[in-house]
Amino acid sequence: MTTQPETDLRIGLVRSAHGVKGALRVELLTDFPDRFAPGREVNLAGRRLRVARSTHQPDGLLVTFDGIDDRNAAEPLVGAYVTVPLEDARALPADRYYHFQLVGLRVFDVHRDRALGEVAEVLTYPANDVLRVTDGSHEVLIPMIRSVVRAITPSEGRITVDLPEETQA
């Protein structure tokens, strides 16, 4: 499976419509919730939309967009990602990376002293992200935890890992 390069940065996922006035429950996929501040523009389902209102909720945000005025307009947006162009990506703290920065990096296992392949995608799970690494003939899933991922050096196109002995890689 070939993964196409991302052209947009995912900042939220519409989980459900809320109420009858077009509000949407949005799961945050960004460290910058101010991207949903009133007046900000985002992309959603192929449309450029302006945030009219957003309220923090225990499971994300409740967001209302200009032009999405009722539940009938909101429901088709459920399951869609809220995005911004990649060029609007903000700088992250040291040792933090956007998923698109990891895709395509070569993965090297120091324990076995061999290359494992390239990152095909980054899977998001509640406990930690997981790298799906493939060399074309097989794939391995690598948890993004400090005891396994030893170094990420995008400038060298490389991720160094130390897989436990029992890992089948």
Domain ranges of the chain: 8-88, 99-161
Span 61-117, pLDDT tens digits = 999 999 999 999 999 999 999 999 988 888 888 888 988 899 999 999 998 889 999
| Residue 160 token pair | 């160094």
- Band the pLDDT of 166: cuts 50, 70, 90: low
Residue-level pLDDT at 3:
47
The full DSSP string for 68-124 is --SHHHHGGGTTPEEEEEGGGPPPPPTT---HHHHTT-EEEETTTTEEEEEEEEEE-
- Band the pLDDT of 48: cuts 50, 70, 90: very high
Amino acid at 159: I
Give the whole-number percent of the chain exceeding pLDDT 90.
70
Q: Which CATH superfamily is domain 99-161 in?
A: PRC-barrel domain (2.30.30.240)
Do domains 8-88 and 99-161 share one topology? The answer is no
Q: Round the average pLDDT of the chain to a whole number and report it.
A: 90
The pLDDT of 47-54, averaged and rounded, is 97
| Residue 125 token pair | 């799970």
Residues 133, 126: contact at Cβ < 8 Å? no
Residue-level pLDDT at 134:
95
Distance CA 119, CA 143 (A): 12
At 156 the three-state DSSP class reads helix
Instruction: Name the pTM for this structure.
Output: 0.73
Q: Which stretch of DSSP H or E encloses residue 56? A: strand 47-57
Query: What is the CATH T-level fold of the domain 8-88, as seen in this structure?
Result: Elongation Factor Tu (Ef-tu); domain 3 (2.40.30)
